[in-house]
Amino acid sequence: MRRVRIKDENLEQRVFLQRSLIAIAVVLSLLLLLSGRAFWLQVLRHEHYSVLSQGNRARIEPLPANRGVIFDRAGRVIAENTPSYQLELVREQAGDLDATLARLVLIGLLEQDDVDRVRRLVQSRRAFEAVPVRLQLDQEAIARYAVHRYELPGVFLETRMARHYPYGELGAHALGYVGAISENDLVRVDKERYFGTGVIGKTGVERAYEDELLGTGGYREVLVNAEGRPVTALGGQADNLRSRAPHAGRGLRLTIDIELQRVAEQAMAGRRGAVVALDPSTGDVLVFASLPGFDPNGFARGISRRDYLALTADPDQPLFNRVLRGTYPPGSTIKPVMALAGLEYQVVRPEDTIYCPGHYSLPNSRHQFHDWKHEGHGTVDMRRAVMQSCDVYFYRLANALGIERIHDAMSRMGFGAPTGIDIAGERGGVMPSPQWKKTLFKRPEQQAWFPGETVILGIGQGYWAATPLQLANATALLAARGRHFRPRLVRAFVDPVNGAVDERALQALPPVELKDSANWEVIVDAMVAVTSGPGGTAVRASRGAAYSIAGKTGTAQVYSVGQTEKYDEKTVAERLRDHALFVAFAPADAPKIAIAVLVENGGHGSSAAAPIARAVFDAYLAPGAG
């Protein structure tokens, strides 16, 4: 019988040895891998993960730069920064964003109408970025937040510098305002520059000079707990907390005199319209008043949708910038420049006379163009025609000039194009011509230019439309006898650190040169007669002035009156009454200020507009008089 060996000890020993070696190799490989990974993480990638770990225990807190301060021409502060509290939301710490916003509404810290806007704004910013959701909280809102703080994860109460306008409504349309950053704003700006900044310039100087005013923001890291609340490091100063100091924006020195602005707005109180005053020697805007106005502080605080809609629905349109965007028939205020065109093209001489019977008809036409004075002015020359605002004289002059020469002459005076002032939103008005009409209308029968359309341009009616700024600009050009400057609202930049003033250079434009420079004095003399001559339409407004005034009144129709109809101011609805206008400069022989006043539906320029100009002149040229 054959013997069988059941156990092979040598074989088992070899297998055991092989498996042990394999296990040791696996363990050593794993140890080597773990050691290598540890070396990679703790040595080679130490700096990277140190930054990440720092982010887990620290939060980046923005340090917005102080917005540049704005001064008037005399150095008075008209836009400043004051400390205030605002609510900020960090999306990554807020959890359910919709629930957080709903809670803010329930608590009364956010308007329901603003929820969609805030949600879109928060979602458009980075998750870790603190986004302002409500600006300039009052004491009641602060107390409400404090009570409900535990219910609002990711919502923080922060102290920030907020925009404040100490003069309220004064000069609001020129100064503009700041408001909460919107999605549309973020599309056109560099988001990095607005890290932690909740507002941006929306209109006026605040928007036009946003880059200078904004400054450069900073940041600092602060230790936070699990809820994201700032804490103090135990055992002393926390290490490795980074920071960068903010740098304030540059200040602006405006050309506006805020006290002169106050005089203009008080004189205009209760009425709709505009007052613009320029320095003819520089183009500096001394007064920029559009009435009624609004308080820009409401926008800086974060105006609610309800309040904003109330402003936009107001029939008096307080947000509408009449100085830049209001276009009106210039009326009789353009008669001096029309007379100048007649002299320039030699179709009339100053001494030439015509007889005014109170109406005018084109040759071979029975249609009558009526004078404002029903019985007529009798025999008038150029001086008397300007002084008494004889319509018939200028009907005849416009017909003699023709539309092409009128268009060219008025374009040289700045009509039909923006003046180029240094804030946005300016409209160019309309200086009509046959070519303009062909562009405007599509039907051939509407494109024809009729002689009657030329005639009524002679008194600033018809298609002609100008802004109050254009009227003031043309008046300044007359005052400076052809010298021309681009209007401006900002005259200098101010260093926020040392207060050094960097004056901006004037922008001189090509002068308007005449074939005979003596014609300037002919026109100025006629405008002085308006305020001082017998029958002058603005004599009452200039009575007792310690300086000479060269001016021209104007009345612009709001709606057309038929041939057989008679305009009756007493029976016409208030908003259908004529606009009242007055343009002037003073002193006439050495002008320091040129002005245009427009009172919507004010009636007569002599009674409604001229006294406003007189108040501004007295405050600027004879302060303290009387």
CA distance 482 to 518: 12
The dihedral of CA 529, 534, 539, 543: what is its sign?
A: positive
Please work out, in degrees rounded to the nearest 5, the angle formed at the alpha carbon of residue 473 by the alpha carbons of 467 and 474: 95
Q: What phi and psi values does residue 339 have, to the nearest 5 degrees?
A: -65, -40
The C-alpha atoms of residue 460 and residue 476 are separated, in whole angstroms, by 18
Could you tell me the sign of the dihedral formed by the alpha carbons of 40, 41, 42, 46, in that order?
positive
**Structure-token pair, residue 45:** 């990638």
Q: Determine which one of 84, 290, 332, 542 is catalytic.
A: 332
For β-strands 501-503 and 490-494, DSSP reports them as antiparallel
Provide the β-strand partners of residue 289: 275
**Bridge partner residues of 582 (DSSP):** 553, 597
3-state secondary structure of 407: helix
Q: Give yes or no for a contact between 604 and 541, defined as CB atoms under 8 angstroms apart.
A: no
- Are the beta carbons of 397 and 339 closer than 8 angstroms? yes
Cα separation, 199 vs 181, whole angstroms: 5
Quote the CA–CA distance of 573 and 525 in Å, as a whole number: 38
332 among known catalytic residues: yes
- Rounded CA-CA distance 357/84 in Å is 69
CB 87 within 8 A of CB 155: yes
**Residue 558, both tokens:** 């709001």
How far is CA 319 from each of CA 164, 181, 201, 293, 295, rounded to the nearest angstrom? 18, 19, 15, 7, 10
Please work out, in degrees rounded to the nearest 5, the angle formed at the alpha carbon of residue 605 by the alpha carbons of 413 and 376.
Answer: 95
Catalytic residue ranges: 332
